[in-house]
Structure 1
Amino acid sequence: MPPDQDALKRRTAAPVTDMLAYCDAVLREHAARHGWSKKLTNEVKRSIKLLHALQPTPGAKIHASEVLELPRLGGTAISTMEILAAADLLIDDRTLAVRHYFEKHTAGLPPVMAQQLQTWLDVMLDGSQKAPRRRARHPATAHLHILGMAPILRAWAEEGRQSLAEISREDYTSALPDRGAHRHFAEQGFRSLFTILKGRKQIFANPTRGIPLTPVAGTIPLPLDTEAIRGALNSPDAACALAVAMVAFHALTGPQLASLQLTDIKDGRLNLGDRSLPLAGPVLTRLTAYLDHRARTWPASINPHLFVNRKSAPRTVPVSRNFPWVKAKLKPQALREDRILQEIHATGGDVRRICDLFGLSIEAALRYTNTVEHSDLTERGVSGSRNPRVR
């Protein structure tokens, strides 16, 4: 039942308690240090008062799940959680999205099978300190494994299988898709699943043991439309123009762009780990324009990352992976491939050059050198020399 609004207003107007006074001091210090606007500071202050009024036990620590309900009451959630965490008053009980995805795709499975899958997921996400030891995997890895395994698991459940210990080698191989990405995801997922269950003695034998993974069909990198790249390079959005320029000229990846910090650029050079790259002239022009825009828009931001937006400027976190590519209407990976293609054709297939220039492995570089004499790319107009797109 939603709280009574009149009663809530009366409780938020009550005298300030020790908890509110303590949070207010933390809020003022945090807001001044991170350059928060007066509007955001007042919104967080009001949100903390709402949480305090709704507490069944005044003064107790607050769960993150309760803070996430604030928007429907007119409060703000993310910034409020930052203040509560800084004040050591937050209990983070948020559930990873992959766990919700797992529950959705395992609903209705037999209890024993569901319990075995839960054991696998816990080890995947949290790792294991007892033998056999295992490091935690990225949630995206578990997500892809579930995507590949879910249809097969449901089919086994419909056949009357109650436990994964009943699955034989023949059952496993006959259930796999014929080809494609889903076969690859399923093979990787079941290899991980049965390996973990065998190590914890929940199955008798690993049906995937000794079966090699199906090779993934390679793709051919293709060039992008030059006019689309030129349009994005000249975008009126300073962040968009800079991001496109850094990928188009220096072939950075999306994650590299998001993690770039202001201190990574010095004296016109970009430092990426043990690599130091002289920035191209068009990149420096757009970098200057973006830094001027950032200084005007968020003059008090202490975020160390090069790229910031409205959500990340009051904090110290990087931008999301979609920023600013939604405005650019390009994908960073496709733009990176276009840049490497231009370089490999300009150098006549010099593998060593693109490995040093872009930090590629030999195997990754060969994927591009195989396109030098490819008829499709010749017809699409990949030139044998650099084609500057900025005029």
Structure 2
Amino acid sequence: MSPAAGPSAALRPPPKCIECATNRVAWSKPRVDYCYDCLPGGPATPPPCRACGSDRYFSQGLCDRCHPGAPLFLSSCKDCLAWGVYRHHNWLCWTCRWWRQHFPEGQCDYCGRTARLGESGACRLCLEQARMLQEPGRALDLVGANKHGQQMFFANMHFHRRRTPRLRPHRPRRRPSPPTGTFTPAVGVQLALFDMAPDPEVVRARAAWEDGELTRYCHQVVLEHAEKFGWSAPRRNDVVRSLRLLQTLRGAPDEKIRATDVLVLPAYDGNIASTLDVLAAAGLLIDDRPLRVEVYFASRTRLLPEPMRTELETWLRVMLDGSKQAPRQRGRDPATARVKILAIVPIVTAWAQAGVTTLAEITSDDIIAAIPSATAKRVPAVTRMRSLFKTLKARRMIFIDPTRGLTTGPGPSNMPLPLDTAAIRDALAFPDPATALGVALVAFHALTGHQVRHLQLTDIIDGRLTLPGRSIPLAGPVRVRLTAWLDYRAGRWPHTINPHLFLTQFTAGRLTPPSHVFPWKKTTLRPQALREDRILAEAHANGGDLRALCDLFGLSIEAAQRYTHTVGPGPAPAKPRSRP
């Protein structure tokens, strides 16, 4: 029987004596219903234990330590399989008893057993195995540590875990600390009663000469990141200085680092992005950074009355996280939420200035009066107001949906216009190789700005650009500019491992794509307008061939018709013949 499966018939205690109902029966096989004290003609002296010779007789010729159903019989923990637990505690060690009160039951992601699972989705046995094999400066490797099995251990033992050698600093300071022990982050954090900004000069002076446990613990991770991503010596030193600043700024010496605390480092001449990467790799980062759309929402709604702001926050949370209750919906992209905020906040702000404190007071007449008359603004305003009040009605924050029955009318129709050819020609000859290549990719092949940002080096093979569903032979001018950019890229960042085609000084030491303004910030052209100009030119060149536009640029029928309508009406459809 596996100990983890619980006590079987062999481990069950024998029945009690029918006479005293206190002691266990003397024998189960052959069956005797009395203990030795209550035997008819007794009492009788019980024999010594046939296993260890003890005089503490229990039943079946064994003592209370040797009998599998005795209270002092040792067995394995049902959850973590640790040896040395008693029946008195339901075959559970002290730690697993605590786990059963705080963690749910499920199937472990690493060993497949059904047990109590911690926050990482691992049972306690897999977690202890990973802790035992954890290397200094590294996070727990639950997959690798449990790949070839686990090492059993004793239960309820008061001992210190095997200590890994503390990492020595690369450059010893004037007051180095002894390299003994390991850095163990605290589980709980003591909240501060008062928030007081420290003196920047004092913080800089202390961080200049003091190496704490955090700096020594993360030193190896810094060196590996510097070698892997091709960091320069100044950047590596900036990260080390930032770690010293964080060691000085945080409240307790053993608590993890919050990302919001790292964001204040520029006030003390610290580095942000690379420090966040190092802390995340070391498993010491608590990422509590708000989304950009949340910061934008807070800045636009800070002057609204409280009930109205709470209602808008509920709608924003449903937009970002989705909803599992009716009406169900998936979480939207933050950029989509930002566009909707841009249309809703001006209308809601006007209502608040008119004295409205909650959206439950809004009627259909108020919405009709607030919607812009221009078609280009009316349709998105009605659509986004409908999303807002539909969410609030589902959460029972308003009584009726005032947008019910409102119609948007015909959608806005805009006609794509060609760009100035001289401006495109000047952008193609721009001295910056990244800008010239980005303009060429869109001007010749009508790529979107998103596609240009996320292009990788492996997408271009033998003069062909491979995109999802498209294989594009690169034009000659594009190849010339691609060669110039690759030469510049190899000379500027020779050791980078970033797979993206376009790099910046910020992304060369990481694996992320550049921002949406690169490489367009040096030119007046924008990728969307340049893409429309290319498609419009192709529509006029092929006489409005709808199928050719869809195949060449990956457009849908509706999107392609927007360009073919500029060419002119097509041939009139043939009338069906009437039957004689």
TM-score, normalising length from structure 2?
0.62
Query: Given that residues 212 and 247 in structure 2 are in contact (C-alpha distance below 8 angstroms), is that contact kept between their aligned partners in structure 1?
Result: no
Contact 1:23 1:84 in 2 (8 A): yes
Cα deviations by residue, 1:149-195 (Å, 9 ceiling, x for unpaired): 22322333344433322322222222212125443342122111111
Q: Which residue of 2 aligns with 1:139?
A: 334
2:393 aligns to what?
A: 198
Hey, what's the Cα distance between the residues in 2 that align with 1:11 and 1:328? Answer: 42
Q: Equivalent residue for 1:119? A: 314
Tell me which amino acid in the other structure corresponds to 1:237.
D
2: CA distance, partners of 1:248 / 1:29: 41
1:62 aligns with 2:266: no
Instruction: Tell me: CA distance 1:18–1:154, structure 2 relative to 1, closer, same or farther (3 Å).
Output: closer
1:292 to 478, 487, 505: 487
Q: How does 1:147-186 map to 2 (within 5 A)?
A: 147-186=342-381
Deviation at 1:144, TM superposition (A): 2.4
Alpha-carbon distance in 1 for matches of 2:215, 2:267? 22
The answer on 1:29 being equivalent to 2:224 is yes
Report whether the alignment pairs 1:49 with 2:244. Answer: yes
Question: Which of 406, 412, 424 does residue 217 from structure 1 map onto?
Answer: 412
Q: CA deviation at 1:292?
A: 1.2
Question: What is the aligned partner in structure 1 of residue 209 from structure 2?
Answer: 13
Deviation at 1:341, TM superposition (A): 1.5
Q: Quick one: percent identity of the two aligned structures?
A: 54
Conserved? CA contact 2:429–2:436, under 8 Å:
yes
5 Å matches for 1:335-374? 335-373=530-568
Structure 1 residue 350, shift from structure 2 partner: 0.8
- Aligned mates of 1:4, 1:226 — CA distance in 2: 54
Report the Cα offset of residue 122 of structure 1: 1.1
**What is the identity, as a one-letter code, of the residue corresponding to 2:391?**
I
For residue 521 of structure 2, give the secondary structure of its aligned residue in structure 1: helix
- 1:87 corresponds to which of 261, 282, 307: 282
User: CA distance change for structure 1 residues 277 and 11 in 2, over 3 Å: closer, same or farther?
Assistant: closer
Amino acid at match of 1:309: T
Looking at structure 1, the residues matched to 377 and 261 of structure 2 have their Cα atoms a distance apart, in angstroms, of 38
Question: Which secondary structure does the structure 2 equivalent of 1:317 belong to?
Answer: coil
Give the letter for the 2:328 counterpart.
R
- Residues 271-290 of structure 1: pairs in structure 2 closer than 5 A: 271-290=466-485
SS in 2 for 1:328: coil
Aligned to 1:248: 443
Which of 507, 522, 526 is residue 312 of structure 1 equivalent to?
507
Amino acid at match of 2:479: L
Contact 1:244–1:328 at 8 Å: present in 2 too? Answer: no
Give, in angstroms, the shift of residue 90 of structure 1.
1.3
Q: 2:448 matched to 1:230?
A: no
Equivalent residue number for residue 322 of structure 1: 517
Range that drifts further, 285-294 or 123-132? 123-132
Moved more, 160-169 or 346-355: 160-169
Instruction: Determine the C-alpha separation between the residues in 2 that align with 1:190 and 1:360.
Output: 29
Give the alignment's Cα RMSD to 1 decimal.
1.9
Identify the residue that residue 46 of structure 2 maps to in structure 1.
none
Deviation at 1:47, TM superposition (A): 0.9
Task: Please report how far the alpha carbon of residue 11 of structure 1 lies from its aligned counterpart in structure 2 after TM superposition.
Answer: 4.9
Change (3 A) 1:262 1:13: same
Q: Deviations over 1:356-381 (max 9, x none)?
A: 0001111111111122249xxxxxxx
C-alpha distance in 2 between matches for 1:307 and 1:4: 37
Q: Are residue 187 (structure 1) and residue 382 (structure 2) matched? A: yes
- What residue is the counterpart of 2:175 in the other structure? none
CA 161–17 in structure 1, closer or farther in 2 if over 3 Å, else same: closer
Give the equivalent residue in structure 1 for 2:302. Answer: 107
Give the number of the structure whose residues are more often helix, by fraction: 1
Find the aligned partners of 1:20 and 1:60 in 2 and give their Cα distance.
Answer: 13
Query: 1:4 Cα deviation (Å)?
Result: 5.0
* Superposed structure 1 runs of 4+ greater than 4 Å apart: none
**Is contact 2:203-2:245 (8 Å) kept?**
no
Matches of 2:521 and 2:355, distance apart in 1: 46
Cα deviation for residue 2 of structure 1 reads: 4.1
Q: In the alignment, is the contact (CA less than 8 A) between 1:112 and 1:162 conserved in 2?
A: yes
Please list every run of 5 or more consecutive structure 1 residues that lacks an aligned counterpart in the other structure: 375-391
| C-alpha distance in 1 between matches for 2:200 and 2:451 | 48
Q: Which has the larger radius of gyration?
A: 2
Name the CA distance, whole Å, in 1 between partners of 2:327 and 2:504. 43
Give the whole-Å Cα distance in 1 for the aligned partners of 2:352 and 2:485: 56
Cα distance in 2 for partners of 1:99, 1:6 equals 34
Structure 2 regions of 5+ residues with no counterpart?
Answer: 1-196, 570-580
Cα distance in 2, alignment partners of residues 148 and 105 from structure 1: 12
